[in-house]
Amino acid sequence: MMEVKVVLLGTGTPNACPNASGPSTAVVVGERTYLVDFGPGVVRRAAQAYHQGIDALRPDLLTRAFCTHLHTDHTAGYADLIFTPWV
Protein backbone atom coordinates (compact mmCIF):
# COMPACT_ATOMS: atom_id res chain seq x y z
CA MET A 1 0.00 0.00 0.00
CA MET A 2 1.33 3.44 -0.94
CA GLU A 3 1.82 5.99 1.80
CA VAL A 4 -0.19 9.22 1.50
CA LYS A 5 0.76 12.43 3.30
CA VAL A 6 -1.03 15.75 3.39
CA VAL A 7 1.29 18.68 4.06
CA LEU A 8 -0.03 22.19 4.67
CA LEU A 9 2.46 24.50 2.97
CA GLY A 10 0.52 27.66 3.67
CA THR A 11 -2.76 28.55 5.34
CA GLY A 12 -2.58 32.34 5.18
CA THR A 13 -5.19 34.84 4.09
CA PRO A 14 -5.09 37.50 1.36
CA ASN A 15 -3.73 39.90 4.00
CA ALA A 16 0.03 40.46 3.95
CA CYS A 17 0.84 38.46 7.07
CA PRO A 18 4.58 38.10 7.76
CA ASN A 19 4.03 34.85 9.67
CA ALA A 20 1.98 32.91 7.12
CA SER A 21 2.41 31.79 3.52
CA GLY A 22 -0.43 31.80 1.03
CA PRO A 23 -2.79 28.83 0.73
CA SER A 24 -1.20 25.66 -0.58
CA THR A 25 -1.59 21.99 0.27
CA ALA A 26 0.67 19.19 -0.91
CA VAL A 27 -0.75 15.70 -1.26
CA VAL A 28 2.19 13.30 -1.41
CA VAL A 29 1.38 9.86 -2.79
CA GLY A 30 4.44 7.66 -2.75
CA GLU A 31 7.08 9.65 -4.66
CA ARG A 32 4.61 12.01 -6.37
CA THR A 33 3.39 15.35 -5.11
CA TYR A 34 0.15 17.04 -6.10
CA LEU A 35 -0.19 20.67 -5.09
CA VAL A 36 -3.61 22.11 -4.42
CA ASP A 37 -3.26 25.87 -4.88
CA PHE A 38 0.04 27.74 -4.94
CA GLY A 39 -0.12 30.85 -2.82
CA PRO A 40 2.82 33.14 -2.12
CA GLY A 41 5.72 31.27 -0.52
CA VAL A 42 4.77 27.83 -1.84
CA VAL A 43 8.24 26.95 -3.12
CA ARG A 44 10.01 28.16 0.01
CA ARG A 45 7.63 26.19 2.21
CA ALA A 46 8.08 23.09 0.03
CA ALA A 47 11.86 23.50 0.36
CA GLN A 48 11.45 23.73 4.13
CA ALA A 49 9.42 20.50 4.17
CA TYR A 50 12.05 18.85 1.96
CA HIS A 51 14.80 19.82 4.40
CA GLN A 52 12.67 18.35 7.19
CA GLY A 53 12.64 14.97 5.46
CA ILE A 54 9.79 14.93 2.93
CA ASP A 55 11.83 14.10 -0.18
CA ALA A 56 8.93 14.42 -2.63
CA LEU A 57 8.70 18.15 -1.82
CA ARG A 58 12.11 18.97 -3.29
CA PRO A 59 11.25 22.12 -5.28
CA ASP A 60 12.43 20.83 -8.66
CA LEU A 61 10.06 17.86 -8.31
CA LEU A 62 6.93 20.02 -8.05
CA THR A 63 5.39 19.38 -11.46
CA ARG A 64 1.68 18.80 -10.74
CA ALA A 65 -0.62 21.51 -9.42
CA PHE A 66 -4.34 22.15 -9.23
CA CYS A 67 -5.94 25.53 -8.68
CA THR A 68 -9.23 25.66 -6.79
CA HIS A 69 -10.04 29.21 -7.88
CA LEU A 70 -8.35 32.28 -9.33
CA HIS A 71 -7.95 34.53 -6.30
CA THR A 72 -4.44 35.95 -6.04
CA ASP A 73 -3.79 34.47 -2.61
CA HIS A 74 -4.20 31.02 -4.22
CA THR A 75 -2.19 31.73 -7.38
CA ALA A 76 0.53 34.32 -6.66
CA GLY A 77 3.18 31.62 -6.13
CA TYR A 78 2.77 30.35 -9.70
CA ALA A 79 5.80 32.22 -11.07
CA ASP A 80 8.07 30.72 -8.40
CA LEU A 81 6.58 27.32 -9.06
CA ILE A 82 7.26 27.36 -12.81
CA PHE A 83 10.68 29.07 -12.70
CA THR A 84 12.23 27.25 -9.73
CA PRO A 85 13.05 23.90 -11.43
CA TRP A 86 15.78 25.40 -13.62
CA VAL A 87 17.36 27.47 -10.83
Distance between CA atoms of 28 and 66, rounded to whole angstroms? 13
Q: Which of 39, 18, 29 is nearest to 61 (CA)?
A: 29
Q: Is 73 a catalytic residue?
A: yes
Burial class (CB in 10 A: 0-12, 13-18, 19+), 18: exposed
Of the listed 37, 60, 73, 80, which one is catalytic? 73
Residues classed as catalytic: 73
